[in-house]
Amino acid sequence: MPGIKSPLDIDLTKPAAIKAYLLQHEARLSRQFFETSIESLQTQRAVLFDNLLMALWRYYGLQQANNISLNAVGGFGRQTLHPRSDIDICIIFDKGLEKEQEANLSAFLTRLWDLGVDVGHAVRSEKDNIEAAKADITIATNLLDIRTLCGPANHAKNILEKLYTCDIWSSRLFFQHKVAEQDVRHEKANNTALYLEPNIKNNPGGMRDVQTIIWIARKHFNVGDAQSLKSLGFLKFDEYSELIESYDFICRIRWALHTVANRAEEKLLFDHQLDVAKFMKFGHGENAQLAVEKMMRQLFRAMTRVQELNQMMLGVFKREVLYTDKKACVRVDLDEHFFVSNNMIQAKYDEVFFNKSNVIRLFGFIAGDDDIHGIAPETLRLIRQTRRQLLGELQDYQECRKAFIALIKHENGLKRAFALMHRYGILASYFPQWKAIEGQMQFDMHNAYTVDEHAFKLIQCIDNFTADKKQKSLLTSIYRASSLKHILVIAGLCHDLSGKQSHETNEISAIHAKEFALLHDLKKSEVDLIHWIVDNQDLLIATTQTLDIQDPEVIKTVAKKIRSEAKLNALYCFTVADLMATNEQSWNEWQQSLLNELYLSLRSALKKGIENVFEQRVVIRENKIEALAELTANAFDEAEIKALWASLPSSFFSSNQVNEIAEFSAQILAHRGDDQVVSLSDDTNLECSNLLVYANDRSMLFVDLFNALSLLKIRVKEAQLHKTKNNKVLEVIKLLDHNGETIADGYRSEQVKKSVRKVLCGPDSVKKPASPRFVKNFENAPEVEFLATPKSNKTLLRINALDNPLFIEKICNVFKHKQLTIHSAKISTLGECSENVFTISSKDNSAISNQDKTELAQLLVNNIA
């Protein structure tokens, strides 16, 4: 080329001359960036170093020996060099080197350090190379790309022959190690390509994912490139085109990044994104942010496609390499549409997704079977085709909507199944608003992920709230005691659908969320709650960051915006998940302590009368409608149900979930001729046992029940006491056995029920439990507070203290001493604390006087502390 010197024309003794020569060629390649394919640019740069290294090799007289060779390996061997890529070489000799050769080789390697590029080199005998490859999969992989520059070509040939046989690595072991290596890379990146500052080489969907499938194919099938996969039929033409187009775009980004950063930078940092977008002519100046957004969106789309095709090819290779005995593969039919083989779910016929609900049902099967680890390549190919051919969105189909709600309510629905839906673009095919936020940047210093990835991470965090069954925290106590999962998931899916972050855009996202919830036939109270959460998603975090949460007026103002404990619980859980999903530092002990303090202050304010009674009535009405439908479906008489419910206080219907209302009502109705009902069942939501007691009321029944349970070493997690209009008492007590588990053993269950029935026979049959030795006397001053109540002849009392099995007995003994009547009680565990709320009256059935309140509070503090 005119004006460009060859290596033979420059003074190889002068490092400055060599560097000037390289810079001259780099400038030429940069000018060709928009005129030449990235593959050609990489090859030209590799050829540049081929010529330079060969010239230096000759300059130091190393070409004269026939026992030593200079070889390119790794990316240099593949001829895929970027502007700041390492130059990896392997010098191989087949017999000992003479002193002159050693001196010349040392001078050659020294000169390489003067080139201004990173050179990685290894000097080994042919035998040592083979031993090194056996010991290290990375070395073996590097040598797969070996290419001779100078010296005997048989060195590289012999090593490749060994690598292609099973002498060094069998295809099975090589495949398993490369997949494990990829898994480690992906886990390090939290299994997502959608970082705002992605590593374009090592993140999922990065260049290494393409190289991994090529290496595995090369080792097992002895092929050279992606085109060979098309020739062998593993890739269809459109898939091959998609892979090459995506990979080329990622490579062009990397070339630009190396150029603007002027170093081997693999992470596309915010600091470089503007310059890279400008270099690639996406735009600059006033359009700079839009230019970055367009560039990053294309990059994320390319990386997502690469990750998808990588998974599909690995699925094919897994079957070809690991499961060579086709007859030994066990096939398990799931239904008329799907089966499982080799832990992969597979469609039985190509037209399976003509019925669009089968797309969502497939993920339902994955959620319901831990043995399904992924989707078979052929079925993934069908999903990709269906995704492209959709006339509308999957949510347009009623059966899809039903399957989607069932999936997010499923115990395992948000784990592997939902992750695969997100990875394979099903969420974008499900509703159009998600497609609009896919790969969208967030230009702030807090978020680590794109808009869609942040929403997905938020949902993962919600699913992990109950991962540790032994954990005692405020968060787990609130979440487990509610049925918030599907509400929080839909709020999480929709909370950033506007794509921006501001109060106005929260309103837009809230409208989308409401429309989504309505379309999926959720109850009115659930629709309203989802809309409210999304609209007020920043309320709690903004309060902790900008206001004084110690100020009672601040608490009162925020509590008035929330209006109900149900909303507070939902918003608290949502806020925690939102912070956890923002970045790895957002949720910390300090943030947790602030949010917990705010939650408890707001909860206290709501119990003082700010809570919205109308919203509670809506929930009660909806709970009754659903529970009635469930009971009548099980052949209970509607008139008898309503007669029973007429005797129960409204607190029973607001304190329990629909399934609990139906279950407890069914137990009472099934024994309607009996004076008392005692039943024990499992509460899968709270992971405890439900003890139901329905009997004639008497003085101190509540405390006697607690004493009886304490004798059995049963731990009370929560409790409700409801006085009925027919002079009975309905008590719901949530229990854990002495080992912290549910009461699952039949003998143990009968023992508990027998003890309870004995208590119901009268107070004389109850023994007082001895003080347990394991309870230590810690300084524990309880908080005693009298709350407002609309009932003029009742007093509402709240007692907060550390969770201790003796406290309820002590509290009830104080009530007995003061001759107070308990009309209702609710005991809740909040992390390490217990909140106990009682409705009480004096012995003459009137409210407690102010003087008696002071005396009662002091008695309680003295007894508990």
Q: Count the Cβ atoms, other than its own, within 10 Å of residue 355.
A: 13
Check residue 767 and give its pLDDT.
Answer: 60
E runs forming strands in 410-473: none
Residues of the chain with pLDDT under 50: 1-3, 771-778
* Side-by-side strand order, sheet with 68-72: 119-125, 87-93, 68-72, 147-150
Check residue 778 and give its pLDDT.
Answer: 43
Check residue 774 and give its pLDDT.
Answer: 40
Q: For residue range 667-723, what is the model confidence (pLDDT) as tens digits?
A: 999 988 888 999 998 887 767 889 999 999 887 788 788 888 888 888 887 888 888
Q: For residue range 372-398, what is the model confidence (pLDDT) as tens digits?
A: 999 999 999 999 999 988 888 999 999
**Is residue 139 within 8 Å of residue 92, measured between CB atoms?**
no
Q: For residue range 74-84, what is the model confidence (pLDDT) as tens digits?
A: 999 999 999 99
d(CA 82, CA 160): 25
pTM of the model: 0.79
**Is residue 721 within 8 Å of residue 698, measured between CB atoms?**
no
Check residue 74 and give its pLDDT.
Answer: 93
d(CA 823, CA 841): 8
Is 248 exposed, middle or buried, given 0-12, 13-18 or 19+ CB atoms closer than 10 A? middle
d(CA 644, CA 668): 9
For the chain, domains (ranges, CATH) are 7-169 (3.30.460.10), 173-324 (1.20.120.330), 778-865 (3.30.70.260)
Check residue 444 and give its pLDDT.
Answer: 67
